[in-house]
Amino acid sequence: MTSCRAFGFQNVYQQNNVSSIRCSSLAAVSKKNYNIALLPGDGIGPEVISVAKNVLNLAGSIEGIEFKFNEKLVGGAALDAVGVPLPEDTLTAVKQSDAILFGAIGGDATDTNQRHADIGIALLQLREGLKVFANLRPVSVLPQLVDASTLKKEVIEGVDLMVIRELTGGIYFGKPKGFGTNENGEEIGFNTEVYAAYEIDRIARIAFETARKRRGKLCSVDKANVLEASMLWRKRVMAIAEEYPDVELSHMYVDNAAMQLVRNPKQFDTIVTNNIFGDILSDQASMLTGSLGMLPSASLSESGPGLFEPIHGSAPDIAGQDKANPLATILSAAMLLKYGLGEVKAAERIELAVLDTLNRGFRTGDIWSAGNVCTVLLNTNTNNYFP
C-alpha cells in the first residue's frame, strides 16, 4: 500500500509553536460514494489524470469517501479510435456522473488545421452538452513560487484574484458563422458575438456571489465603447448590481484590463467577462504565477455535474516523458471536491499537500528557480510521486 508520505498527504499542525507533519489515520466513518467521469484526452492529459485519480483515492480513503471512476475517450484519442472527438457514450457517461475530471485535448505540430479544429470542438461540445455556463479560474501567486514568475516580485507578490468567464455564449457559439464570399468575390470567414440578457444575468449573479465571499470587489470587463453585445453586457451587469449593494462594482475595457493585469494585478479581486475575453484574460492572468501548470478551473451549471480541468493544454512535446506538472490537475480535483461534491475537508487536504510539497522545495522544470530541487513531481509509479 502506498504511504501517505509518498503522496504528500499530510496534516500540518502546530505543537509548541513548531510546525510538524504527520499522516492521518483513516476516518472510521461510513463511506460516501460518488461516480466520477475521467476524460484523460491527449498529450499529457492521461499522465496528469492518473496522478489526480490516485490523489482523489487517497484523500477519499482518509475522509471516508469512495469513488467509482469511469474513464472515457475524448479529443484526438476519440477521433483516432471512433472517428469523432466527442463520442455519444462519452457524453452520456459524463451527464450521468457526479462530476467530471478532464485532462487535456489537442494535436501536435504535424496535424492539419482541420484536425486541430475537429479535436478542439470536443471541449465546446462538452461544455454545451453539460450546460456549464460559469467558468471559475482562481489565480493566486503562492509565496513559494514568486520567483517563478517573469514579472517583478513587487508586482505579483500577494496577487489573489478570480476570473469568472461566461462559457456557453458569445462568439464561440453565436450564429450565423461559417465561410462565404463577399461582393468582390473574395473568400470570407465570419462569426457572431451575441448574448441574451438571461445569459449575462446568470453569470453576473455568480460573479457577485463570488465577490461577496472574497473581498467584495467585482470588475466587469467588456468593450462597450464599440460592441453592441458589450453595451448590453454592461447594462445587465449594472442592473444585477442593484441586488448586491455590498459589492463594489467597476467596469474596464478589455484592452485596458489586459494591460492592468500586467501593470498592477493586485488591484483585482474578482473579474467577470464574456467568453472570448475570459479565454484570453484568464490565460494571461495564469502567467502571473509563472506557469499554466499551476492553475485549476471549475465549470459549473445551474444543475447537473460540473467540469473540472487544468487550464494548460495537451503539451504533446513533453508527453510521456515524466516532465509534466500535475499540480493544476490535482488542484482541479480539489475544486471538484469543493465545488462539485461539497467535500470541503477532502479538498483542503489536497490543497495542503500541494503547499507542503512546494514548501519542501520540489519543483517541475516549468516552475523551477535557483535554490529548489528540480525534480519530476509526476511519475506513473505512485511510490515515487511527491518524494
Q: Kindly list the catalytic residues.
A: 172, 223, 255, 279, 283
* Alpha helix (H) residue ranges in the chain: 4-7, 45-63, 76-82, 88-95, 113-130, 153-156, 197-213, 228-241, 254-263, 275-286, 327-335, 344-359
**Superfamily of domain 32-135+291-378 in the CATH hierarchy:** Isopropylmalate Dehydrogenase (3.40.718.10)
Nearest to 313 by CA among 262, 366, 251, 265: 366
Q: Give backbone dihedrals phi and psi of 212, rounded to 5 degrees, phi first.
A: -60, -35
Residue pair 340/305 in contact (Cβ under 8 Å)? The answer is yes
pLDDT, residue 41, reads: 96
Common-topology check for domains 32-135+291-378 and 150-288: yes
The tens digit of pLDDT for each residue in 111-160 reads 676 776 778 889 889 998 999 999 999 999 888 878 778 889 999 999 99
The Cα–Cα gap between 271 and 295 comes to 16
The domain 150-288 having CATH identifier 3.40.50.10490: the answer here is no
- Domain positions in the chain are 32-135+291-378, 150-288
Mean pLDDT (the chain, rounded): 86
The Cα–Cα gap between 54 and 36 comes to 13
The Cα–Cα gap between 216 and 213 comes to 7
The cell numbers describing 341, all together, are: 461534491
What is the torsion angle, in degrees rounded to the nearest 10, for the CA atoms of residue 336, residue 339, residue 345 and residue 348? Answer: 70
Spell out the residues 6+ positions from residue 227 whose beta carbon is closer than 8 angstroms to its own: 193
Q: Give backbone dihedrals phi and psi of 354, rounded to 5 degrees, phi first.
A: -65, -45
Grid cell 505543537 in the structure block, residue? 15
pLDDT along the chain (387 residues), means of 10: 31 33 43 95 96 97 97 94 95 98 82 75 91 94 82 92 96 96 97 98 96 96 98 98 98 98 97 97 86 85 94 89 91 95 96 91 76 46 32
Quick check: bond before 46 cis, omega within 30?
Answer: no
